[in-house]
Structures are given as C-alpha cells and as structure tokens.
C-alpha cells in the first residue's frame, strides 16, 4: 500500500514531529561521523522551506531507560545547527512541560531537537501513554528514521495512532523505492550478491529473492556451508554445520525455480586470518584440511564480474571475504568495482545494503557510482526478506 509522503502534507505553520535517526558516534561531546545527520537534511530543509515548526526526535545509544548525560543529544543539536547554518533549540526532555514549552515557542521554519527518546524505557516498550505524550507535541508526524523502522517503538510506530496524518520523509521514501519497488519489478537480468559470515542470518533473504532473481552469487564465509553441503572439504573455514541441510534445500529450490545460484569455484586460503603472508589461491575442491578459506578467488571474481556486467538490477549485501584483513579484501573490492562499472557503463540500478559492503564501496572510492546505498542494517535485511516494517506499516495510506 502506498504511504503518504511529507510532500502530501500541508505542513505550513504546523508543528511537525520528524522522527530522525541521529544515532551518531560521539567522542568527548563531538560528532565524529555525521552521515546520519546529513541523510536527514533533505527532509528537514523541505520542512524549513515550507514554514513548518519542526520537532526533531531520535534515540542515541542504549541508555536503557535512564537519563544518562553520556547519551544526551545536545551535541547533536549543536552539530545540526552548524550544518544548517540555523539555530536549533534543544529541549532537555522529550515529553512533558519542558518539551512543550520549547516546541510551543517555535515560529514557522524554526527547529527544535528533543532529548534522547530512550531516556524513557517506554520508548522501546512502545507504551501507549508515552506515545500519546509524544503525539501531543505535534499536529503532524513524519518518519525519516529508516534504520529504526524495523522496530515497533513509541516514536516509530505507537504515536502514529494519536496524530492526524503520518507520512514518510524523503530518506524513508528513497529506501522503500529501491528496496521494495525496484526489487519487486526489477529490470533484468536481476543479480543478487550475498556474502558475510552466516547463512542463518540471510535464509529469509535468500528465500525471498529466489522468487525474483535471475542469479544469486554467493561469497564470504556463508559459501562454506553450501560447499560443505555439496560434500567438499572446507578445512578450517567458517561453517554452520547445522545449516548444511538448509543450504542443500536452498540450492535445490534455486534449481527448481531456474535461478542461477553460484558458489565460488576457487578461493584464497591461509592458515588463518592473520596468515595473510601465506595466502594462496586454490580451487574449492583442493582445500587442505588445515587451511581456512578467507576470500573468493581470482577465477570466481572474474566469473561473478562477468555476470554482474550483464545485469540491469543488482543488490549486494555482505562482504565476499574477511575484507578487514589484507589480502582478503581483494574479492570484496573486485565485486565493488564490478557493481560500480555495471552502474556507470550499463546504467544498471545498483543497490548496496549492509555495513560491510557499504564500507567497502566507500573505502574503494566508488560510492558515488552506486545508485542507492542503504542506510539501514536490520531494517534493510528485513525489507530484503520481504517483511513489512512496523515503522512503515504505521504510516497513513494514500
Ligand atoms: P555479516 O555481518 O554477516 O555481513 O558478516 C560480515 C563479516 O563476515 C565480516 O566481519 C567478515 O570479515 C566476515 N567474513 C566474510 N567472509 C569470511 C570468511 N571467508 N571467513 C571468515 N570471516 C568472513
């Protein structure tokens, strides 16, 4: 069901509660990475330009329902004020008289940031009273906190019952456009690249994407559970021994559906993650019992790159190897390059989700070539698994 967008709301002169994800890293009261703050700027700027009275709210860290100054959002208000070049009022509480008096003194186009929502256990508890208290501060609600949309908390779900209209902000809309709409109707060939540590984290993602993918390329440690299921020696490689039956079932399902599910044909092995000096490339059926597979091999990189090079839609989640440790970053970097090339040269729609694969494209300087880099972790995986996020379900239908 299509949901209302902030564009659909009449926000001029109204008190608009915008749930943002300002869960940023802080060191000695300074924001050290403001990616999440800048990601919310288009929505905030739109609200400023329309003359809304803007109430921003977020969580920060895990204060576990306690008012802990270590997790105060005050430094974030100061940082946001610098980014916007505008004053940002700070309310030392997110509910009650303190919050209300700051909010009620806002004029059109002005901004206030509320103190950390998770200073109240009721936030994560999705408490109806707390939800009502938050909602009493505003006329309209906007959710732009995609990274928290897989949680049914008071500020992401509960409070929408107490407002007239609840709409998606631009960041939320963009995430849904790519992770839901594009993947539901992909231009073909549609290639899925999955890596990372565990198959068990991505079972539902694989099952869901098997319905629409033309090819699924598997890398990372999760490949070893599939290889073991095929009866291959995997040495000391990371394997989920209790998931080999499942891996075999997923392979069988792929075959039945005509999806080209590929496993590495060769890989980089060593004695262990710190044995990079002795890394060597071998075929997957020639893995010595005392070695560990730590990255996809050269032939696999080439084979995967060729398939990626023909794709029109690509989704990538999870690194191809232990990319934090050189030389086991090569496979992940090669895939990042192949995805960027497909986007740049063939106009393929490329979508990357998941912290490690996102870090890899940033480190390789390829981020600006990617169509969409998701800001979510758990929320991204849940969408790829075909789930409806509580924070999205709670928004008003068009
Ligand atoms: P995930 O959180 O499931 O996306 O997994 C990411 C982690 O998997 C990273 O820390 C990688 O170092 C790790 N990883 C990927 N491939 C391997 C591998 N072949 N052996 C050990 N760890 C790996």
Task: Reply yes or no on whether 345 is catalytic.
Answer: no
Nearest CA, atom 14, ligand 1: 322
pLDDT for res 79: 98
**What is the Cα Rg of the chain in Å?**
23
pLDDT for res 1: 65
Whether the predicted pLDDT of 140 surpasses 70:
yes
CATH fold of the domain at 186-384: Rossmann fold (3.40.50)
Q: What's the pLDDT band for 354 if we cut at 50, 70, 90?
A: confident
List helix spans (H) across the chain. Answer: 35-39, 41-49, 74-84, 96-104, 121-124, 128-135, 170-176, 183-184, 203-210, 222-229, 244-257, 298-310, 330-346, 355-363, 378-384, 390-393
Whether the predicted pLDDT of 6 surpasses 90:
yes
Cβ-based neighbours of 331, under 8 Å, separated by 6 or more = 219, 268, 295, 296, 297, 300, 301, 320, 321, 323
- C-alpha 40 to ligand 1 mean position (Å): 30
300 contacts 266 by C-beta, under 8 angstroms: yes
Structurally, at CATH architecture level, domain 6-173 sits in 3-Layer(aba) Sandwich (3.40)
The finding on whether 238 has its CB within 6 A of some atom of ligand 1 is: yes
Q: Do domains 6-173 and 186-384 have the same CATH topology?
A: yes
Q: Rounded mean pLDDT of 345-373?
A: 93
Q: How far apart are CA 371 and CA 182, in angstroms?
A: 11
The finding on whether 297 has its CB within 6 A of some atom of ligand 1 is: no
Q: What is the dihedral of CA 383, 388, 389, 395, to 10 degrees?
A: 130
Task: Reply yes or no on whether 109 is catalytic.
Answer: no
How do residues 241-250 score in pLDDT, each as one tens digit? Answer: 999 999 999 9
pTM of the model: 0.94
Task: Reply yes or no on whether 74 is catalytic.
Answer: no
Q: What's the pLDDT band for 293 if we cut at 50, 70, 90?
A: very high
- Domain boundary assignment for the chain: 6-173, 186-384
Q: How far apart are CA 181 and CA 175, in angstroms?
A: 9
The finding on whether 219 has its CB within 6 A of some atom of ligand 1 is: no
- C-alpha 390 to ligand 1 mean position (Å): 29
Nearest CA, atom 23, ligand 1: 322
pLDDT for res 127: 98
pLDDT, mean over the chain: 96
């Amino acid at each position: 069901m299509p949901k209302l967008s902030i564009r659909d709301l009449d926000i001029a002169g109204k008190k608009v509660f915008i749930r943002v994800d300002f869960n940023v890293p802080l060191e000695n009261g300074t924001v050290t990475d403001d990616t999440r703050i800048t990601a919310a700027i288009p929505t905030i700027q739109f609200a400023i330009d329309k003359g809304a009275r803007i109430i921003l709210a977020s969580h920060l860290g895990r204060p576990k329902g306690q008012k802990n100054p270590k997790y105060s959002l005050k430094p974030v208000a100061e940082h946001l004020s610098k980014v916007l070049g505008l004053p940002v009022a700070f309310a030392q509480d997110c509910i009650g008289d303190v919050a209300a008096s700051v909010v009620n003194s806002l004029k059109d186009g002005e901004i206030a940031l509320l103190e950390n929502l998770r200073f109240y256990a009721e936030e994560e508890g999705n408490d109806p009273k707390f939800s009502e208290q938050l909602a009493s501060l505003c006329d309209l609600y906007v959710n732009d906190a995609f990274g928290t949309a897989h949680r049914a908390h008071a500020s992401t779900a509960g409070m929408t019952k107490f407002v007239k209209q609840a709409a998606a902000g631009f960041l939320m809309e963009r995430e849904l456009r790519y992770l839901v709409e594009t993947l539901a109707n992909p231009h073909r060939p549609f290639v899925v690249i999955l890596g990372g540590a565990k198959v068990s984290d991505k079972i539902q993602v694989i099952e869901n994407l098997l319905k629409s993918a033309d090819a699924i390329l598997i890398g990372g440690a999760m490949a070893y559970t599939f290889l073991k299921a095929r009866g291959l020696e995997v040495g000391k490689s990371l394997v989920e021994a209790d998931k080999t039956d499942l891996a075999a079932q997923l392979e069988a399902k792929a075959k039945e559906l005509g999806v080209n599910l590929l496993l590495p044909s060769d890989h980089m092995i060593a004695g262990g993650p710190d044995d990079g000096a002795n890394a060597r490339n071998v075929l997957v059926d020639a893995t010595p019992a005392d070695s560990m597979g730590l990255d996809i091999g050269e032939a696999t990189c080439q084979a995967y790159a060729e398939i990626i090079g023909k794709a029109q839609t690509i989704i990538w989640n999870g690194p191809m190897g232990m990319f934090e440790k050189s030389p086991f970053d090569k496979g992940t970097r090669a895939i990042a390059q192949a995805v960027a090339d497909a986007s740049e040269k063939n106009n393929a729609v490329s979508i990357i989700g998941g912290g490690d694969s996102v870090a890899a494209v940033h480190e390789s300087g390829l981020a600006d070539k990617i169509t969409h880099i998701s800001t979510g972790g758990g929320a991204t995986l849940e969408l790829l698994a075909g789930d409806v996020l509580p924070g999205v379900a709670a928004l008003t239908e068009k």
